[in-house]
Structure 1
Amino acid sequence: MSDRFIERSFAYMVEKVSDYAIFLLDTSGLILTWNPAAEAMKGYPGSEALGRHFSMLYTDEDQRRNHPDHNLEHAARHDTFQESAWRQRKDGSLFWALVEIIAIRNDSGELEGYCKLTRDLTNLKELQDRLAAEKVRAELTLRAIADGVISVDTAGMVEYMNDQARTLTGWSGEEVKGLGIEQVFNIIQPDAADSEDEAPGPTVSGNMSPRRTSVLRARDGSRHVIDMCQSPIPCEDGRPCGTVIVFHDVSERQRMESALHDAARRKDEFLAMLAHELRNPLAPVSAAAELLAMGKLGAGPARKASQVIIRQVKHMTALVDDLLDVSRVSRGEITLRMASLDMKIVIGSAIEQVRPLIESRGHTLAVKLAPATAYVSGDEKRLIQIVANLLNNAAKYTLPGGHIDVELYTADNQVCIAVSDNGIGIAPEAQPTVFELFEQVQRTSDRADGGLGIGLALVRSLVRMHEGTVSCHSEGLGHGSRFMVCIPRLAPEAPVPDRRIADRLADLPHAHTRLSILLVDDNVDASDMLQFFLSTIGHEVALAHTAGAALEAIDRSTPDVCILDIGLPDSSGHELAMNIRKRSSAQPVLIALTGFGMSQDRDKATEAGFDHYLVKPADLDALARLLADVPPRGTSFLPGR
C-alpha cells in the first residue's frame, strides 16, 4: 500500500466524517484546513474560516481570558490539550464541545502546527444537566419527606440513606458504607417491646411487599413503631438491581390514637354516669311530687316532701353548675374577683358547705390551722369551691365512719391546704390522670354518692388561675388519699378584711312595693311554681304561655316587669323582647329566664333588649333582690283588665 493511497484515504475520511470538526492550525493558530463537518458545526464556509485565527470560535469571555493562546501553549508543551467547554458559532449561538488540540511535529521534533478536533455534545450536555437536576430534586425530596428511605444493592449492602432514615436508625451516611441492611435496619417483634426476638427484616426480592407495621430498634437501643414496605429497583433487563425500603415512624400516631380511644371511652362512661347522677335526684323528686299531688298529706309530711324536692333540685343544680364551670374555664370565660382573703375563713366556709355530707356519713373531721397569718389574693367564691370540692371528694370516697383531716400551713411564701382521708385511695397508675376530666369514673363504680368526674379537673383549673399548684398522693387502693393546694401568700402586712362570709349574707328581701309582673313560660309547672313564689313575697303576677298571649296582655296594660323564657312555642324570647320594646311606650324591665347559660347567649339577650339574665333553675334569692330594686309605676296588671 503506497503512501499516496494512505494520504488520499486519510483525506477522504476527514472529508466525509460528520461528527467531528477537523482542521489544521499553523503555529500561531491560523486556520489552514476546514472540513465540511467543521463548516456545518461552526456555521462558517471554508472561504471565511481559512486564514483566520481560531480564537473566533471561542466565546467573548474565553477570548478576554486568553484561553485560545493558553490552549495552544498547553498542547505545545504536552503534545495535546483536551477540554469540554462552550464554543461559539458564527450566528453567536453556543454549543457544548468536546475539544482536543494535538501538536504536529516534524521528524526533528520541531513544532509545525496543530490538529484540532471538535465534537458537538450539546444534546449529551443537556441530558447530563437534566439528570443532575433530577438528582438534586430527588435528593431534596428525600430530605424533605417524613419517610425514611434506604436503598440496598443485590448483596444486601446499604447504598443510600436519606436524612430521616439516618435519624430513625441512628447511623450516619458514612458509617453505613459496607454494612448489611440487617445491621442498620434492625427489626424486632412488634408485639414484644422487651423481647430480643427478631422479626423478619427486609429482603432483596423482585416483588413489592405490602405495607406492614414493625418495630425498629435504633442504634442507641431506642425503639420506633414503623409502617414499612419495600420495592425492587429494576435493571434494564428487568431483573432487580437492588431494593428500596420506605418506612415511617407511627409511634406518635399510635399514641394519639390510643389517647383518642381513651377519651372516647371516658366520654361514653361520663355520659352514662351523667344519666345515673341525674336520675338519682329525679326519683325522690318524682315520688315527693306524686305525694303532694294526692292532696292527702298533713302539714308535717307535706313540708318533708317539699324539703326533699328542694334538696334534690339543689343537688341537680350543683351538677349542672359544675358542668358549666368547666366549660367556662376551658373557654377562659371565668373572671376572678380578686381580693385579699384569709384562707382560714375560706376553709371554715367550705367546711360549712360540706358538713351535712360529712355528718351524714358519720366521718370524723379534724382541722389543723397554722398559727401564722395565711392571707392570699383570690376570688372568695372560687377558693371556697376549690376546698369544698376536695372535702366533697374525701367524704364521698371514704367509707362511713372514716376520718378526714384538713391542714393549713404556710411555707416558702405560699399558703397550702392539705385534705387527707383514710378512704378507698387511688391506684398508682391512675394518679397522673386524676385531675383529667371525667376521671372520677375510673376510681370506683359502686360509690354511694356520685359525681361527674369533673370536680378535680375544675379544682386544677381554678388553682392555676390563682397561680397555684395542686397535687395528690396515695399509697394505693385502700390506703386513703391526700390532696394539697398551694396558693401564693400575701405579705403579712397586706390589708385583709376581718369579716366572715356568713356575716355578709343578707336575709331574703320581701317586696316592700308591689310590682306588676308578666311571667311568660311554656312550661306550665315551672311558671305556676314561680308565680306562687313571686306572689308569696308580695307581687302581682300574671301568666302567659306563648308569645302571642304575652303581647295581647301587654297591649291591654304594660307591667312593671316581664320575665320571659327564651324558648317559646310560637316565637323566641328574643323576638318577644324586641316586640315589647317596640309596642310599649312605658318600657318594662325585661328579665330573661332560660336554660341557655353560655356567654354568647347572654350577649344575644342583651342585643334583644333584656335588662337582666337568669339561668334556670332561677336563684330565687337573686331574683327577689333584683325585683326589690325595680321602682313600680303604680299600675295594676291583671289579664282581661
Structure 2
Amino acid sequence: MLRRLIEALSLYLDTAFVAVTYGEGVPPTHARALYALRGQQAVHDLRYRLEETPCAQVYRGETVTIPCDIAELYPNEAAYEGYIGIPLRDTEEQTIGHLAIFSNDPIVETELATAIARIFAQRAEAELRRLAFEVERQEMIAELSDLNARLQRGFNRLRHENAQKTSLMGVIAHDLRGPLAAIIAQAELGQQHGVMEVPDLARIAVGFDKILNGAERMSDLILATLERVRAEGDALVLSYRTVDPSRLIDIAVAANCDDARRKNVALSFTTPEDSSIQVEADDTYLISAVDNLIRNAIKYTRPGGSVDVTMAVADGELSIVVTDTGQGLTQNDLQLVFGRFQTLSAIPTGGETATGLGLANVRQIMQAHNGAATAHSAGRDKGSRFCLNLPLRQPETPKPA
C-alpha cells in the first residue's frame, strides 16, 4: 500500500526522493524507511540518523517546508533543492514517523504542494497505525496463546492430582479391607474356641496375635494417611495475577463438554456483557474450583437436564454461579456440603464415583482467595446453585485457608 501511495504522490509533486519512515528510539534518533523511492527506483533497507537533517524537526511534531536552497540549512542534503516533511502520529497523537519529500527543483506553489503532501500523509499515517495495531494484535495473540497453554498445564496438573487423591482413597480402602477381614475372621474363631468345653488356648493366642498384627497394620496405614491429609490441608500458596475470569470459565466449561454430551446434559456459559471484568487471583486454582462445581453439577444431573454457568460483578465482588436442574440438596446436605469426605443424599446419575473431597477443595481454594463458596437448593429434585464469591482486588496479606 505504501508503495502505491508513494508512486501516486510522484504524479502530483516533484519527488526526487520520497519516503515513509518509522522512528527508532525514545525520543527517535534514527528513521527507518518502510518504503522509499529515489528517482522512481525503490530503496531498500534505508536507515539514517536524524541529527543534522530537516527530518529531526518533523519528528518533533512540526510540518516543515523548505522551498529551495536546502543545502544552506542542511549541507548534507546538497543533492536536493526543496523539502516537505509531514509528521505521522499514532492514536495518542505521538509522532511515530514522517513523510519526507525531497525535490530537485524549487517548490514554486508552496501551500498547494504542502496541502497535497498532507493528504498523502494522512493515508500513510492510517497505514502506520494499521501496522502498529497488527503488531500489537500479533503480540496479544502470542501472549494469550502462552497464557492458555500455561493455564491448561496448571489445570491438567490439578486434575491429575485430584485423580491421584481419588485413586489413593481406593487403595487405602482396599488395603484396610484385608486386615479388617482378617481381624473379623480371627475374632469369630476366637469366639468359637472360647466356648468349647476345653478352650483351645493355643489357637486363641495365635488368633489374638493375628488380630493385633492386623490392627497394627491398619493403625500404621491410618496414621500415614492422616499425615498426608494434614500436609495437604496446609494453607494454599497462591500466585496472584490479573486474570480474565471469563477465559478461565471457558477453559473449565470446555473440559467438561464431553462428559455433559455423553450424559445428554446441556452445558452453557452465559458470557457477561461487560468484557473488561478482571480479578486478582491464582488462575490455576480458580479454574480448578470452577471445574469442580461444573463436574459435580453434571455428575448429579439426570440425562435431559441442564447446567448453566454465569458470572457477574456487584459491590466489589466477582460472583461465579453454577446452577443445575439435578437432584438438589436437603437441609442436612446443606450443613455438610463443603466438609471433607462427606456423603450427601444425592447419587451420581451415570455411575460416577464420589470421594467427598471436591467441594471441600473448592471451599479451601476460595478461603485462600479471601472469598467464599456457598450452596443453595430448594430441596430434593429442585436443583442446586453453587456460588463462588471473591473480591476484585486482593489485600496485601491473604488470609490462610
TM-score norm. by structure 2 comes to: 0.41
Higher RCO (C-alpha 8 Å, min separation 6): 2
- Whichever structure has more helix as a proportion of its residues is 2
TM-score norm. by structure 1 comes to: 0.26
